[in-house]
Amino acid sequence: PAAASPPPAGGAPAEKEKDPPAVPEEPPAAAEEEPVISAGAAALSVRVFFEQDCKMENIRAYQIVNALSGLADHIDTLPADLLEDCSDEIIANGVLLTVYTSESLERIRAAVAESLFVKSIEARVLDGAPEEEEPSEEAAPVPGAAPESAEDAPAAAAPETVPDAPPAAA
């Protein structure tokens, strides 16, 4: 007959060692860190729609976020988790990005436009716009986007009231 193994040191039964570890009282601090937004950053709203039947819209949206990550301090998305199956929601509503950046609206719009299968981009400044930014960037029409209501448009937006606007490219 085989001899039973001796009990572990300290006399505690072997079964006690298999208990699950205690749950920590607080989650790690890195799990809920607040984003660091630079002082001169503006909040930009960018809604992106993809071409019909392009497939994997959630992955395409995730790729846009990755492309913008070098230009932004922080990016919030709606849907929040682009790695879950949310393509149907993106097809219906587009993906909404809130980009906190010191870059211009046009620079962010151009970076998004470089992505494959982008059908349309609706972009506007939410707050914190740098004073040096041209008003025409904020009010520039977006191809395929619905125009804003006439009530929301400032009266100064009329072409004759903006004499210092840069000349149109020939």
pLDDT digit string (tens) for the chain, length 170 residues: 555 555 556 555 555 555 555 555 544 444 456 788 888 899 999 999 999 999 999 999 999 999 999 999 999 999 999 999 999 999 999 999 999 999 999 999 999 999 999 999 999 999 755 444 443 333 333 444 444 444 443 443 333 333 444 454 44
Alpha-carbon distances, residue 91 vs 45, 69, 108 (angstroms): 18, 23, 21
Q: Does the model's pTM come out above 0.75? A: no
* Average per-residue pLDDT for the chain: 73
**Would you give the DSSP letter of residue 1?**
-
Specify the pLDDT at position 127: 72
Q: How many CB atoms lie within 10 A of CB 96?
A: 16
